[in-house]
Amino acid sequence: MLQGYDPKGFYDEMFAADSQPRRHYSKFRQLFDDIAPTDFGQRCDEVDLAFLRQGVTFNVYGDSKGTERIFPFDLVPRVIPNSEWELLERGLIQRITALNLFLHDIYHEQKIVKDGVIPPYYILSARHFRREFVNFQVPRDIYIHICGTDLIRGADGQWMVLEDNGRTPSGVSYVLENRQALKRTFPTMFEEIGVRPVDHYPQELLKTLQHVAPAKAVDPTVVLLTPGPHNSAYFEHTYLARQMGIQIVEGRDLIVRDARVFMRTTKGLQPVHVIYRRIDDDFLDPTVFRRDSALGVPGLISAYRAGNVSLANSVGTGLADDKVMYYFVPRMIKYYLDQDPIIPNVPTFLASEDSDRKYMLENLDKLVVKAANESGGYGMLMGPRACAEERAKFHAAIQADPRNYIGQPMISLSTHPTHVGDGAFEGRHVDLRPFILYGEKTVIVPGGLTRVALTKGSLVVNSSQGGGSKDTWVLFGDE
Amino acid sequence: MLSRVANSLYWMARYIERADNIARIVDANLQLLMESRRVGPEESGAHWAPVVESTGDEEAFAAVHALATGTSVTDFLIFDVRNGNSLVSSVNQARENARMVRDQVPGEMWEELNRLYLYVRSAEAASIWEDNPFAFLQQIRSSALTLLGISYASTPHNEGWHFLQAGKFLERADKTTRMLDLRHASLPRTGMPGPISQADALGWAAILRSCSAWDAYKAIHGSAVHPRWVAEYLLLSDEFPRSLKFCVERLDASLRAVSGVAARRFSNDAEKFSGRLLAELQFGTIEEVFQTGLHDYIDQIQTRLNQIGDELFRAYIFQPFVNLEDEIMVQQEFQQQQ
């Protein structure tokens, strides 16, 4: 079915420059060619219908009708050979370890600042730096328990880290659902090709959460705190809670008495010990953070400070999500672990540095400019594709608030054959978000969420901006 | 179980039952009209106005329609989302409640409910309704039956299930009495009704059909339809799963299963009122019902069912939600004492 596929000069995941399938795709390619195009179209429709019926959907913000959409799913899987995955795994473990050491350091001795590795200005001006939590002891010194790190591959095939999501990364439910869907669609392929399973994620997540339970809790109760059904990731919250067999609660289900957290049940108040919170710091507790937050629980932070309840992720991890901190991660790895980064960063310019800013302002047409604390593909300028007016807007914004901007060369992300309708396949740009669990040991389920920019030529993979996803297959072997 | 979850399960079950009952009542009345010889605007109005009254939404109806006709009433009862109790609104509400507790609802149940939700909103459904209303209503009823079957046969009969049961039987008890009340205008206000006309007999038979009770009734009384027997069957039958007594019995049992309190005792007002109503149904007769007058009796029953619902809410679901501002103050005082 992939006859005549043209990678158009990009680094393609499936096909090498000579149009031959890469070694780790050869088995898939053979089996896939046996499927008739009409049959394939029918299977696509079946999967879409199944997702819609199961309500595997996300809510679109700003849509007054409250429309739910399915997250478009492309049936052609992305394949990663095991040896390559093992390298990525080592790189990700190295990175999360450094980030947790960094956060612990910043919220305690701040040695990395004192030793001049990171200028204090950048820490103090970071929007998500929670100075109230300096010298606060988080359970087992873990700040980021769950991390979603976005990886990309550039024109030469080199893996790079695009960003770390150390607050409340989402998308893992799609990893699990996509796998279920593909197992139903290509039932025989998995065995023949040898694909590493991913379904143990919920158990591993639960272990990670139980690991940080307060020591005095004998049989700790873990809950998932959601902002509620109107949140775009609500499906994922319910999915994970169900898979882990824990309660999903909203802020109004919880109450704090004597610095202890309880949930309101039909049998009265019951204690809660670990909260997997899918709410940002700002909304957790209106007595401490945003007073207008109706999503949180008054008094939650005092219970947290008293050590009666643990939060995952910890408060204050947003500091590591700051795109300016991203710039310093290779230095953190060197500083804390005395290692070189296994997966490099994308080259980055900091607008606060005079020389970098000068370069950025002069080369806006070549760079991608990002706001330091936005996510979801918002607050971004794709220089080479933007109009003069947009560039002028960012030109002014950078000068007005240089701390809030970084610049990166535009990476032409690797492409992957993607079904574009009627049995035709074209290359679409992809990234990869593995989910890292940092508990007693660090666990990464093989692969992660491959996001794909479904719009032709687009480099933006976010679901809010026309992105879809693929199943990601890490092989047991290399072919 | 979280109080909020119990609340959502309870309302999900009520709304599914409500949608099913609307489908039943519209179905039986459409069939009845097909059997009458001439249907001018007046007969049509006389026929459909009580149907709206039986749902208790006559004010909402009057606000959007001047005349009760087949089209205006069925549209109001089925598709109109301005009517919070229409079939489509009920399906929306059931699904929204399920969505709020998505993790507590069995996967199969969610899928079926979601399918029903997508179906009633689809263009396909509207065109089926135009061509063949019975086929449309049949779809709704099968879906409601599927949902009942899933909840009965493939989910654990735990606390959440008993909240589903409580919601379902409370709603069904209410709807059965409302359907029975449909032809009260043809009865004397109090006292046992005398012989009835053939047209009336058809009307009472339609009530039995709305409740799926026609075959069961015939097995006992033959095809002679009389309000006395119809009322007795729908109010006091021990065996028929839509009779008032049957529903209250199940409701009472589920309330006790939730609290673990024995049948002759009570631990909250919901149990007190349901136990009391059940005792009266167990030791009441249809003669006494007609002495009170069927319509007045049904009115009282509905008030008492509402009372049980309110007390259920107060006992398990009503969360003493503190006002957020007050709670912030409480917490800040606590933090200052530290």
Looking at residue A250, its amino acid is E
> What are the DSSP calls for B108-171, one per residue?
HHHHHHHHHHHHHHSHHHHHHHHH-HHHHHHHHHHHHHHHHHHHHHSS--SHHHHHHHHHHHHH
Collect all residues of chain B within an 8 Å Cβ-Cβ radius of residue A239: 103
Sole residue written with tokens 């099913």 = B20
**What is the average pLDDT across A5-32?**
91
Of A238, A250, A299, the CB nearest to B4: A250
**What is the average pLDDT across B84-110?**
89
Q: Does B335 touch chain A (CB under 8 A)?
A: yes
Kindly give the pairing relationship between strand A467-474 and strand A73-80: parallel
Paired with A223 in beta bridges are A247, A275
pLDDT tens, A242-295?
A: 899 999 999 989 999 999 999 999 888 899 999 999 999 999 999 888 887 778
pLDDT tens, B131-156?
A: 999 999 999 999 999 999 999 998 89
Task: Determine, for residues A287 and B110 on separate chains, whether the beta-carbon distance falls below 8 Å.
Answer: no
**pLDDT for residue A70:** 77
Average pLDDT, chain B: 90
Of B3, B111, B321, the CB nearest to A53: B111
Cα–Cα distance measured from residue A100 to residue A281, given in angstroms and rounded to the nearest whole number: 17
Q: Does B338 touch chain A (CB under 8 A)?
A: yes
Best interface-test mutation with A: which of B100, B155, B319, B324 has the largest number of A CBs within 10 A?
Answer: B324
Specify whether the CB–CB gap between A222 and A246 falls below 8 A: yes
Of A53, A291, A302, the CB nearest to B335: A302
Nearest Cα of chain A lies from the Cα of B252 at a distance, in angstroms, of: 17
Sole residue written with tokens 């799609």 = A174
**pLDDT for residue A64:** 47
**pLDDT for residue A95:** 97
Which B positions 82-111 lie with beta carbon below 8 A of chain A? 96, 99-100, 102-103, 107, 110-111
Cα–Cα distance measured from residue A323 to residue B112, given in angstroms and rounded to the nearest whole number: 44
Collect all residues of chain B within an 8 Å Cβ-Cβ radius of residue A238: 102-103
Dig out the tokens for A458 from the structure.
């687009």
| Per-domain boundaries in chain B | 1-154, 159-320
Specify whether the CB–CB gap between B125 and B119 falls below 8 A: yes
Sole residue written with tokens 């290779």 = A330
Task: Determine, for residues A264 and B2 on separate chains, whether the beta-carbon distance falls below 8 Å.
Answer: yes
Specify whether the CB–CB gap between B71 and B195 falls below 8 A: no
Specify whether the CB–CB gap between A55 and B114 falls below 8 A: yes
Task: Tell me chain B's radius of gyration from C-alpha atoms.
Answer: 21
Contacts 24+ apart (CB under 8 A), A111-115: A112/A332, A112/A335, A112/A336, A115/A335
Collect all residues of chain A within an 8 Å Cβ-Cβ radius of residue B161: none
Domains, chain A, in order of start with CATH, read 23-214+309-345+411-474 (no CATH), 349-409 (3.30.1490.270)
Cα–Cα distance measured from residue B178 to residue B247, given in angstroms and rounded to the nearest whole number: 14
Which of A185-194, B42-51, B120-129, B288-297 has the weakest average pLDDT? Answer: B42-51
Cα–Cα distance measured from residue A168 to residue A317, given in angstroms and rounded to the nearest whole number: 10
The secondary structure of residue A249, as a DSSP letter, is E
Q: Give the model's confidence band at A228: pLDDT under 50 very low, under 70 low, under 90 confident, else very high.
A: confident
Collect all residues of chain B within an 8 Å Cβ-Cβ radius of residue A253: 2-4
**What is the average pLDDT across A148-172?**
94
**pLDDT for residue B36:** 64
Nearest Cα of chain B lies from the Cα of A358 at a distance, in angstroms, of: 48
**pLDDT for residue A373:** 81
Specify whether the CB–CB gap between A142 and A100 falls below 8 A: yes
Q: Give the model's confidence band at B190: pLDDT under 50 very low, under 70 low, under 90 confident, else very high.
A: very high
Task: Decide: residue A355, CB within 10 A, 0-12 exposed, 13-18 middle, 19+ buried.
Answer: exposed
Task: Determine, for residues A55 and B114 on separate chains, whether the beta-carbon distance falls below 8 Å.
Answer: yes
Collect all residues of chain A within an 8 Å Cβ-Cβ radius of residue B328: 286-287, 291, 298
End-to-end C-alpha distance for chain A, whole angstroms: 20
pLDDT tens, A56-105?
A: 776 665 554 556 677 889 999 999 999 999 999 999 999 999 999 999 99
**What is the average pLDDT across A208-231?**
92
Looking at residue B120, its amino acid is V
Kindly give the pairing relationship between strand A146-153 and strand A435-438: antiparallel
**pLDDT for residue A248:** 92
**pLDDT for residue A231:** 84
In the three-class reduction of DSSP (H, G, I as helix; E, B as strand; rest coil), residue A449 is classed as strand
Residue B39 scores a pLDDT above 70: no
Q: Give the model's confidence band at A233: pLDDT under 50 very low, under 70 low, under 90 confident, else very high.
A: confident
In the three-class reduction of DSSP (H, G, I as helix; E, B as strand; rest coil), residue A345 is classed as strand
**What is the average pLDDT across B175-182?**
93
pLDDT tens, B288-309?
A: 999 999 999 999 999 999 999 9
Would you call the peptide bond into B83 cis, given omega within 30 degrees of 0 as the criterion? no
Alpha helices in A117-171 (DSSP H): 120-124
Nearest Cα of chain A lies from the Cα of B189 at a distance, in angstroms, of: 43
* Phi and psi, residue B50, nearest 5°: -60, -30
Q: Which residue has the higher pLDDT, A148 or A68?
A: A148
Dig out the tokens for B304 from the structure.
């008492």
Specify whether the CB–CB gap between A418 and A76 falls below 8 A: yes
Measure Cα distances from A86 to A178, A220, A450, A476, B77 in Å. 22, 34, 17, 11, 61
Q: Is the dihedral of CA B90, B96, B99, B104 positive or negative?
A: negative
In the three-class reduction of DSSP (H, G, I as helix; E, B as strand; rest coil), residue A163 is classed as strand
**What is the average pLDDT across A332-355?**
96
**What is the average pLDDT across A163-181?**
93
Measure Cα distances from A355 to A148, A360, A382 in Å. 32, 9, 21
Cα–Cα distance measured from residue B214 to residue B69, given in angstroms and rounded to the nearest whole number: 26
Kindly give the pairing relationship between strand A274-277 and strand A310-312: parallel
Collect all residues of chain A within an 8 Å Cβ-Cβ radius of residue B11: none
Q: Does B282 touch chain A (CB under 8 A)?
A: no
Nearest Cα of chain A lies from the Cα of B199 at a distance, in angstroms, of: 45
Residue A376 scores a pLDDT above 70: no
Q: Name the CA dihedral angle for A334, A336, A341, A347, rounded to a multiple of 10 degrees.
A: -70
Task: Determine, for residues B319 and A259 on separate chains, whether the beta-carbon distance falls below 8 Å.
Answer: no
Return the percentage of chain A with pLDDT > 90, whole number: 74
Cα–Cα distance measured from residue B46 to residue B39, given in angstroms and rounded to the nearest whole number: 10
Within a 10 A sphere around the Cβ of B63, how many other Cβ atoms?
Answer: 10
Closest by CA position to B140, among listed B55, B77, B204: B77
Q: How far is CA A190 from the centre of its chain?
A: 26
Cα–Cα distance measured from residue B165 to residue A152, given in angstroms and rounded to the nearest whole number: 52
Best interface-test mutation with A: which of B2, B112, B124, B258 has the largest number of A CBs within 10 A?
Answer: B2
Dig out the tokens for A347 from the structure.
């080259």
Q: Does B328 touch chain A (CB under 8 A)?
A: yes
- Contacts of residue A441, defined as CB under 8 A and 6 or more positions apart, other chains included, come to none
